[in-house]
Amino acid sequence: MKNERLAAAKKALAQGDLAYEKEVKALCRDIRVLLERIIEMDLINGVVRRFNQELNTKGRVHALAKITEADCQFVDRYMTKYSSYEHSQPEEAPVEWPKPPEIESDLTELSAFVEKIRQRNASA
């Protein structure tokens, strides 16, 4: 996402609002999906997975006890931010799409968050 998709968004921004909106809307949607996967696979360590009726606790449940309030706040902040781009917006107050530097910063923070969670879970 950070290399190809963000580069495409930067290029679209130079082409104008409509091109950028199309590109950034898809990118924001994919970041939202990425956040869901981070929660599912990293934060809760695959204990509960979407579209799967089984719980997988063997060697994984320890990760749940390591979730901190800061983790929850981090996830809430980004889920709220990127969910807002998914919903219809009023014409009187159209959503302002994030610019490439903001998206790049967010992706960097998400990557660091995942690395921190993976290291913490590996130390069980």
27-73 confidence digits (pLDDT tens): 999 999 999 999 999 999 988 887 777 878 888 898 999 999 999 99
With a cut of 70, say whether residue 90 has pLDDT above it: no
Higher pLDDT among residues 120 and 59, named by residue: 120
Cα(44)–Cα(118) distance, rounded to whole angstroms? 11
* Residues of the chain above pLDDT 90, percent: 67
Range of the domain at 88: 4-122
Q: Which residues pair with 55 in a beta bridge?
A: 48
Span 63-85, pLDDT tens digits: 999 999 999 999 999 999 999 88
With a cut of 70, say whether residue 124 has pLDDT above it: no
Backbone angles phi, psi at 59, to 5 degrees: 70, 10
Place of tokens 């999906």: 33
Domain count, the chain: 1
Helix (H, G, I), strand (E, B) or coil at 59: coil
